[in-house]
Amino acid sequence: MATAATKLLLIDRVPGINRVPNSYIRPEADRPNLTEVETSDASTIPLIDLQGLFGPNRDDIIRQIGKACQRDGLFQIKNHGIPEEVVQAIMNIAGEFFRLPESERLKNYSDDPSKSTRLSTSFNIKTEKVSNWRDFLRLHCYPLEEYMHEWPTNPPSFRKEVGEYCTRVRELALKLLEAISESLGLEREYISKNLGKHGQHMAMNYYPPCPQPELTYGLPGHTDQNLITILLQDDVPGLQVLRDGKWIAVNPIPNTFIVNIGDPMQVISNDKYKSILHRAVVNCDRERISIPTFYCPSPEALIGPAQGLIDHEHPAVYRSFTYEEYYHKFWNRGLRTECCLDMFKIPSA
């Protein structure tokens, strides 16, 4: 019979333990310092109403998006067009999946990051020295017809509910990419046209209650490897972002998404927009589920600063590179505080 220590997933190890196993404990200098975290309110993180994005208020909304991307690297959105019942269904199905019997869940398990559908734990257990307090189910979801057959069949409505959600979020992502493109002074279709065939992944993150949350992370500070992330979270706080050297808790607001800029968008903007450093912390009382959708270029797409944003005063900060080259470097080095993009910078003259 398997002991708690030999269980593959954290969710199956946690029941009955009252201290964090050594493999999850961060060095003292690299702990969350939860008492020093600032709490956000409605004015701290921009909340943008997308209601008029295709109406007379479009220019104003695009200005708000541009300001948020430049100053914060993230913003929250409401009136985003995804029905509340679709959002509720995806949260319910994620909870149902993680409550399945261990033997049923483990049918989807793999520690190979190259697999397009996989259940695993932490981040990349093959390369990391300290584990993260997280289990996750990661899915590729565009084009839908190429990947849906790999997805779990239990719970029975999984493919239907998740497929509907992925389709809706992709529509939202494309609208946001148009708005971000315009906010940079580029053509509306510029970013979309430079993504190759496009890619879309998602994760269902499960963070169990943790007996000593001050010793570990759900995910340590990192920037995202995709163009933009559209995050759905339940009502349990956990996301924190770094601003002006201080960590700020982004508390959930019902019926909103959080949108953050990833590394390739920072490159396209030639450093005008910032890929934000963020992390997930855990707590000792409640499980937390978050569902990020990662919208990204396809592997062969060439990423580089937009020509329209390069001039004598603003020389290109990065060399061009394929998304595949970047993606491999990101996964192989694991989550580190310093940005992976530094490896692609053009040396200053």
CA–CA gap between residue 3 and residue 198 (Å, rounded): 43
CB within 8 Å of 193: residues ≥ 6 apart:
none
CB count, 10 Å around CB of 145?
8
Single-letter amino acid code for the residue at 92: N
CA–CA gap between residue 44 and residue 75 (Å, rounded): 10
pLDDT tens track, the chain, 349 positions: 445 557 889 999 998 889 999 999 999 999 998 888 888 765 688 999 999 898 899 999 999 999 999 999 999 999 999 999 999 999 999 999 999 999 999 999 998 888 999 999 876 666 678 899 999 999 999 999 999 999 999 999 999 999 999 999 999 999 999 999 999 999 999 999 999 999 999 999 999 999 999 999 999 998 998 999 999 999 999 999 998 889 999 999 999 999 999 999 999 999 999 999 999 999 999 999 999 999 999 999 999 999 999 999 999 999 999 999 988 776 666 555 456 788 889 887 4
CA–CA gap between residue 151 and residue 88 (Å, rounded): 20
Indicate the helix (H) or strand (E) that contains 255.
Answer: none
CA–CA gap between residue 202 and residue 141 (Å, rounded): 7
CB count, 10 Å around CB of 331?
17
The pLDDT value given to residue 349: 41
The pLDDT value given to residue 335: 52
Q: CA of 235: how far to CAs of 108, 179, 206, 342, in Å? A: 27, 28, 13, 35
282, 100 contact by CB (below 8 A): no
The pLDDT value given to residue 110: 92
CA–CA gap between residue 213 and residue 300 (Å, rounded): 40
Pairing of β 278-280 and β 219-222: antiparallel
CA–CA gap between residue 105 and residue 158 (Å, rounded): 13
Residues counted in the chain = 349
The DSSP 8-state label assigned to residue 226 in this structure reads S
